[in-house]
Each structure stands twice: as C-alpha cells, then as structure tokens.
Structure 1
Amino acid sequence: MNLVSLDSILTFYRGITFKPDDKVDAGTDGSVVCLRTKNIQKELDERDLLAVPSSFVKRDELYVQKGDILISSANSWDLVGKCVRVNKTRYKSTIGGFISMLRPKADLVDPDYLFRFLSMDKTQDSIRHLGKQTTNISNLDRVRFLQLQIPLPPLETQKQIAAVLEKSDQLRKDCQQMEQELNRLTQSVFIDMFGDPVTNPKGWKKLPLKTIVKDFFGGKSLVAADDQFSKYRHKVLKISAVTSGTFKPEEVKPLPNDYEPPEDHFVKINDLLFSRANTTDLVGATTMVFDKHDGLVLPDKLWRFIWNDNNDISPVFIWQLLSEKGMRKEISKLSSGSGGSMKNISKGKLKTLPVILPPLNLQLKFERIYLKLRDETERNKQISLFTQDAFNALMQKAFNGELNLDNAKTQ
C-alpha cells in the first residue's frame, strides 16, 4: 500500500478571527455560523452556535462543505487534533480561529477513509506530539501535520474500508446508546414512583438528612507518590472517581508504599460517597460502590455516609434521590465559595438538606428494579468493550493493509 503525505490529498484552511462584539444571531440575514472547538465532539455538535456577519468570510472556499473534516488546531494538549467530519450543517457555516478545515481532494481520497485515519488513536497521538506548546494551549503545526503519511490504496478500496469501519463503529455506537437509554430508564422509574423530590407532588414525608445520617466520614489530604514506575499497594481516589455519578475506581493517584492508611479510610462495598468540594455544577456529586476494590483510600474531599442505627432506608434510593437534577441544585445552594472558585459544603449544612422519605417497601422495590437495570447495564458494558476492541483491531488492520475485503460491499 502506497504511503503519501497529507498535503498531496487535501487542502488545509485556517479559520477566521473575530471579536466577541462581532457576534450576531444565527440564522439572521447576512450572518454565517462560525463553528468553534466546542462544536467538535464525536459528531458535529450544533446545539450551541455562534454567528458573525457574512462579510467576515473573504473567500467562498472558507464556507464548510459536505465531506470537509474540521480539526481542533488550538486547544489543550490532549484535545488538539480532535476532528469531526461534516455531513451537513443547519446554517451556512465557516470556522473560527481555533479550528482548521481539511478538504479532501475527491479524486484521490475518500472523505470517510481520511476521517477514520485521522481519528485513529495512533494518528491522534502523532498529531498531539506535533503541537507547539504554549503555557496552556497546544497549537497544531500545519507544516509538520501536512507531512504526516497516510496509506493510500485505490479509491474504490478506500470506500470499501470506510464502509467496513462504519458498520463496526455503528455497533459501538449502538452499545453506547443502549447504556444511555438504560440510565434514562432508571431516572424515569424514579420519577414515576416518587415524583420530583424537590417539589414533592406525592406528599411524601420530608425530613432533614440528619434524620438518617449520623455523620460524614472523609479521608486525609494525601500527597501522591512521585515515582510512576513502582508498584503501589494503596491508591487514593481523585474527586473525578465520583463526579460522573458512576464510581470510577481507575481515577486514583498512587500513595507512597511507606504510608499505611487507617482501616476506616479504605473504600468498602456499599459505601455511598459524596463530593463535598468541587465546582458549582459538580459539588455534591454522589455515587455508590457496588464491588470490592482493594487498596483504595478516601481523600479529604470525598465523604462516606455513616447511617443512623435502625434506619428504614435503602442506600440505593438515597443515592438516586441525591443524584436527581433538582436535588443537585439544592445541594449546590448549601455550598460556599465565590465566583468560579471551588465550592465547599459543611457537614452541618448538608445535614439540614430536606429529603423525601417514602415507605421502606417502596424504596426497596425501586432498589430491586435498579439492580436489575444495573445488571443489564453491566452486560451491555461488556459487549461495548468487545465492540470497542473489535473496532480498534479493524482500524489497525485497515491502515496496515491487512483487512480482508473479499466480502465487503460499497454502500
């Protein structure tokens, strides 16, 4: 398979620059949408659009076309090079100064084939290492980027490869969609059974959190180990282990091997963990620990719930209750901190939080439903991992010239 440089198969366009005062409403006469880095997600994201006067576009080729690939050319190091393909846009669009546009030469390269090559992990890593690093931003080096080599089989073969990868990617997306649907179903079941926990339309008994919580227990502020090449017995959780609402035991920092944490600092099965310090949107994030994880230690910014004796509560119900959007806002109101700084919640204020307390039999009924949905979600995750591995393997084979296309059909 021939290797050619990117500059021989595409045209590279830099974005336009503008000032905040230049923006106008998208869709108005004489306006053009200016796509930005926030619009470059897994797919082109057009939920938050900014427009400028069309007079800012000095050349017609700067308008985005179907088949173009948009690439983040000024961003944090881990995001520079992130790219998205364009199938269509809601409005006539151009690109802002922090992204660039790649226009494939249609007689030489299939746009979908080129996109798959650019979005491959190996290529993304190469692109990141081509960046020119400033204080906080990495800038894509246009000259070095265009010198990257891409395997280029005949155009018909490129289309076949792109079609195979598209089918494999769709399986991966279907699994991700299923996980989202299962999560939405959990939220829907909760609201159907208990109603909005803030407005309490079903009139459940409502009491302060201290009615069921004796205390909140946190760990220590610990300094992580510097040597990244040693094996460590213990690791301390980062706040990010909790903030998504799903426990992520991989979000940790290693602790020095000469430090022996107290027994009650270790994370245990059925712990309900709470983020007492974070940004306005993330403070109060809560998650449950369902599995055993050896050697994981609580930091000072995460609390474990210590329940009162003889409580008629389901920890799973309390977790989902505190995770509801409205309750998250109520928790955030109890936090202190100015502007965009880190918000903190005191134990005393958190204990005053009003919570609904439906009968235990209903809480346990919800818990059983949730655990069944969780089992289904876990099975789906395993399938998702398999489809991800299969997709990555296909990508590697495709661009190493090892993909068997005997049964592939061009769509």
Structure 2
Amino acid sequence: MSLIDDLLMTLAPDGVPFYTLAEIATTVPGLSGKTKNDFSDGNARFVSYMNAFANLAVDQMAMDFVKVGPGEKQNELRKGDVVITGSSESVDEIGMSSVVIEEPAEALYLNSFCFALRFENSALLLPGFSKYLFRSNVVRDQIRRSASGVTRINISKPRFMKVRIPVPPIEVQREIVRILDQFTQLEAELEAELEARRRQYDHYAGLLLTNDENVLRVKFGDVATIVRGASPRPIQKFITDASDGVPWIKIGDVPARGKYITGAAQCVTPEGAAKSRRVSAGDFVLSNSMSFGRPYISKIEGYIHDGWLAISDFDASFAPDYLYYLLRSAPIQEEFARRAGAGTVKNLNAEIVRSVEVPVPSMERQYRVVDLLDKFDALVNDLSTGLPAELGARRKQYEYYRDKLLTFTEAK
C-alpha cells in the first residue's frame, strides 16, 4: 500500500478525479436480429451471458459461435470494452462485468442479453484496472441501484450511465493491477484444484447413479409428475406485502450451490397464486434460467413462475436425496442440455424432462449411494471445511484489499 500512497501523494496530491460514465463512455448493444438457428454451426465467436457473468476478463477462446453474414452490420468488441450483463433474476447478480483485456484476434461479438461500455479515450483506464474496478463494491452498489424489475431485473441504461467512477493516474492503476493480479492468481490456483476435485466427484457420482445396466430404467415422466410453472401477468400487479400473500419463489431465493429453498423474498396475492403453479414442501423445482437444469428441493409451500419446472409424486420410486443427486449428475445434465438444443437460450420444457430415461434402483441401494455421495459432496462443496473453506477465506481477503485499494479521496 505504501507505494500506492506515495504515487498518489506525488501524482494526485489533491485527490483523484471522478466521472460519471456518461462523461467518458458510451454503450454498445449486442447482437441484433438473430434467431435460434443462427447459433447452430456459427462462423464467428461471441461472448455469451455466462462468459461475461463468470469471468473478470472475457474468455475470448470460449466455444460460443454465431452466424454473421458478409456485410452484416453488428458491433464488434474492442480491447478495453467492459461487457455488462443487462438482466438477471436477482438484484445481487445484475450488472456483472467482464473486460476485453486484449485486442481480439478475430471478430468478437456480444450476445443480446448484454451490452458493452466503451471509453471515448482508450488511454483513460487500463483494461486490467477496469476488470477490478467494475467488480468492486463501490461500483457494484451503484450498478444495482440502476436496475429495477420484479420477476426479471433489468438495468436502466440512463441510470447506469450516472454511475460515478474514480480515474486515478495510470501509474497508480498499474500498481493496483499488479497487486490484485497476485491475489487472483492464488485464487485461480485454488479454484483449479477444487474444480479437479469436483470433476472427480462428478465422474464418481455418474458411475454410482447411472452406470448399472441391471437397474430398471424408465422415462422420468412415468414415475413423477412434471409440470411447468406459471406467471400471472403483469406480475407487478400481484406482488404484495399484505399478510395474506404467499411466497413467490425465484432463482435469487436460492444461495449459490444451494440445495434447499427455505424462503422467498417476495409474495404474491391469492389472486396471483391462482394464476401460478403451487409447489409443496418436499417437491423439487428445476431451473430453466441461468442455472439451467439445476434441481432444488423446496422446504416451503410457494408458487413458481414459468422459468421453473415442478417435480412431485416421485416418492414411490425415489428417495428425495437420491433424486437430487441423480438430477445433478453429469449424465442427466448432459442429456437435458442435448435435448434442449443449441444456442444461447436453451428450452428445458416439461416434455423434455418427462422423456429422459432414469434408473430406478431399490430403495436400499439408493440410501447406500446417498450415504457415499453425502461424504464426497462435503469434501468439495462444504464451505466450512477443506478446499472450499480455504478458497472462501482467500476470496474474502482479496475482496477486502480490492475494495480498499479502489477507494480514493475525490479531488475537489
């Protein structure tokens, strides 16, 4: 920190200038006029929603392709562009950023669910500095306030462009990037080790759950009731704080890597509930949004919108914990993805889920498998022990120093 303090005293003794995004940047929209077919056998790379959401820096070699014809007018990304995810089901996850660190070696496009922020003076901010700045709490808090919505949260670009950011001298930016890169490198090494453990777990779980040829296999819809959720519209009309409101379950109500739905942030009126789909405690819900095909077990009675599928009446064939592991397993997830089709928006409808063949072993075997997987799952997912705990501690340390390094005294 002392070197940064010395640089600031020398280069910005009166403080660091702050600018609204509107003063120094413009927005660039993503792909337009594309259909689902354009994302099959594409000829040009594009940045998917999940690429932007998951990475500080855009992964330019991700295998996401779209058809772009000769002379077609689409915006290409450039070095220094900050990709912003424009919508989400959760306020906490809205407006995640990913930066184009290097000039693309070939044309690189952006999906229509995101937009890019482009600085008018490309020398104003180092791309490496932007990747940390736009993920810092001081900027993310402003971005969250620029969004609104109920079922789907969307950024208002006019409000977004009022976000104020610090622009310290380049030498200060460079030193901050050097320090934070060291933190993220350590974190990346831990993440790689944990990911290797999880792949090992997924392989082992897949063998336990789906690889026994002597086990009866049936279509899932023959042993469970699978139905799509439903949304009363306009949903704003039915959201309520009244005492007779009932839980309205959204993806944002489930913690990352969570298993259970234990509550809901919002409620709908009884009239809204009558136009929706009820789930009971013990029922499963399956996501068809960002966490595509991810199962959750509801511990509450509530109502789900049409971005969810509800699964019930499986008790005669499955122990709940076994079904949870089965639906999460790589073979089943891969089958969901294959049947849902290619492209940026996959459609995991009830008919697809009903048609997938699943094994139905004896209850005795199911409980044995659950006991084994519970122990293995704790090793790779329990945040209180082992690698997940160490990674969590590193991440908190990084976030603390990131926010401290990116907090500046504003020039008067």
- Output the TM-score relative to the length of structure 2: 0.59
The change in CA–CA distance for 1:76 and 1:53 in structure 2 (over 3 A counts) is same
Q: Residue 402 of structure 2 is aligned with which of 395, 400, 411? A: 395
Q: Is structure 2 residue 166 aligned with structure 1 residue 166?
A: no
Map of 2:343 onto structure 1: none
Tell me the distance in 2 between the aligned counterparts of 1:330 and 1:280: 17
Tell me the distance in 2 between the aligned counterparts of 1:323 and 1:284: 8
Tell me the distance in 2 between the aligned counterparts of 1:112 and 1:369: 43
Deviations 1:248-289 (A, max 9, x none): 446624669xxxxxxxx985xxx5x4227x659989854468
Contact 2:261–2:296 (8 Å) recurs in 1:
no
Tell me the distance in 2 between the aligned counterparts of 1:113 and 1:4: 15
Shift of 1:144: 4.8
Tell me the distance in 2 between the aligned counterparts of 1:213 and 1:203: 19
AA in 2 matched with 1:205: V
Deviations 1:4-24 (A, max 9, x none): 13489x963554887648989
Shift of 1:193: 4.0
Shift of 1:361: 7.1
AA in 1 matched with 2:264: V
Please give the residue correspondences for 1:191-270 in structure 2 after superposition, counting only pairs within 5 Å.
191-193=206-208, 197=210, 202-206=212-216, 208=218, 226-227=240-241, 238=250, 246-249=258-261, 252-253=264-265, 267=281
Q: Residue 5 of structure 1 is aligned with which of 10, 13, 18? A: 18
Q: Residue 321 of structure 1 is aligned with which of 318, 326, 343? A: 326
Please give the residue correspondences for 1:59-98 in structure 2 after superposition, counting only pairs within 5 Å.
64-65=78-79, 68-72=80-84, 75-76=86-87, 81-88=95-102, 91-93=105-107, 98=115
AA in 1 matched with 2:81: I
Map of 1:102 onto structure 2: 119
Tell me the distance in 2 between the aligned counterparts of 1:251 and 1:326: 30
The change in CA–CA distance for 1:149 and 1:371 in structure 2 (over 3 A counts) is closer
Q: Is structure 2 residue 138 aligned with structure 1 residue 122?
A: yes
Q: Is structure 2 residue 384 aligned with structure 1 residue 371?
A: no
Contact 2:19–2:167 (8 Å) recurs in 1:
no
AA in 2 matched with 1:189: Y
Tell me the distance in 2 between the aligned counterparts of 1:57 and 1:355: 43
Deviations 1:219-240 (A, max 9, x none): xx99998339x9x9x9675577
**What SS does structure 2 have at the residue aligned with 1:400?**
coil
Q: Is structure 2 residue 133 aligned with structure 1 residue 112?
A: no
**What SS does structure 2 have at the residue aligned with 1:119?**
coil
AA in 2 matched with 1:356: P
Shift of 1:247: 1.3
Q: Residue 157 of structure 2 is aligned with which of 140, 156, 166? A: 140
Size of the alignment, in residue pairs?
A: 355
Shift of 1:137: 5.5
Shift of 1:385: 3.5
Contact 1:288–1:316 (8 Å) recurs in 2:
no
**What SS does structure 2 have at the residue aligned with 1:40?**
helix
Tell me the distance in 2 between the aligned counterparts of 1:213 and 1:55: 49
Shift of 1:190: 2.8
How much identity, in percent, do the aligned residues show?
A: 12
AA in 1 matched with 2:372: I
Q: Which runs of 5+ in 2 are unaligned?
A: 1-7, 9-14, 269-278, 340-345
Q: Is structure 2 residue 175 aligned with structure 1 residue 150?
A: no
The change in CA–CA distance for 1:185 and 1:215 in structure 2 (over 3 A counts) is same
Tell me the distance in 2 between the aligned counterparts of 1:4 and 1:281: 37
**What SS does structure 2 have at the residue aligned with 1:252?**
coil
The change in CA–CA distance for 1:12 and 1:35 in structure 2 (over 3 A counts) is farther
Q: Which runs of 5+ in 1 are unaligned?
A: 257-264, 335-339, 403-411
Name the Cα RMSD after superposition: 6.0
The change in CA–CA distance for 1:305 and 1:143 in structure 2 (over 3 A counts) is closer
**What SS does structure 1 have at the residue aligned with 2:395?**
helix
Contact 2:94–2:153 (8 Å) recurs in 1:
no
AA in 1 matched with 2:397: A
Q: Is structure 2 residue 393 aligned with structure 1 residue 386?
A: yes
- Output the TM-score relative to the length of structure 1: 0.59
**What SS does structure 1 have at the residue aligned with 2:117?**
strand
